Structure 1
C-alpha cells in the first residue's frame, strides 16, 4: 500500500514521531512518502538527544522512504 504522511508542524516531538511512524510503516512493507510543508521544511530544526530527528530521518532514507519538500 502507498502511504503519504504530511508534516506541517515545527514542533520537534511531532516531527520525530512522524518520521518514526514512517519508519514503522516501512518495516511493515508499506511504500511511504513524507511530505514536508510550511515550518516542517526545516526537518532537522529541533534535533536533540531527546528527539533525535536526524537519526530517524537517516533510517527513513536508508529504508527507501521518499522525502518531499
Structure 2
C-alpha cells in the first residue's frame, strides 16, 4: 500500500511520532512518503534524547522511505 504522511507541526514529539509511525509502516512492507510542510521542514529541530528525531529519520531514509518538502 502507498501511504502519505503530511507533517506540518514544529512540535518535536509530533515529528518524532510521525517518523516512528512511518518506520512501522515500512516494516510492514508499505511504501511511505512523509511530506514536510511549513514549520516541519526543519525536521531535526527539537532533536533530543527524549525525542531522537534524527535517529528515526535516518532509519526511515535507510529503509527506503521518502522525505519530501
Q: What's the TM-score, normalizing by structure 1?
A: 1.00
Q: Any gaps of 5 or more consecutive residues in structure 2?
A: none
Runs of 4+ aligned residues of structure 1 deviating over 2 Å after TM superposition are none
Look up the match of 2:60.
60
CA distance in 2, matches of 1:40, 1:28: 25
Unaligned runs of 5+ in 1: none
Cα deviation digits, residues 32-69 of structure 1 (max 9, x gap): 00000000000000000000000000000000000001
Q: Secondary structure at the match of 2:48?
A: coil
The answer to whether 1:42 aligns with 2:33 is no
- Provide the secondary structure at the position in 1 that maps to 2:45: coil
Distance 2:38 2:11 in 1: 12
CA RMSD of aligned residues (A): 0.2
Q: Alignment partner of 2:18: what SS?
A: helix
TM (norm. structure 2) is 1.00
Q: Following the alignment from structure 1 to structure 2, what is the Cα–Cα distance between the partners of residues 66 and 43?
A: 13
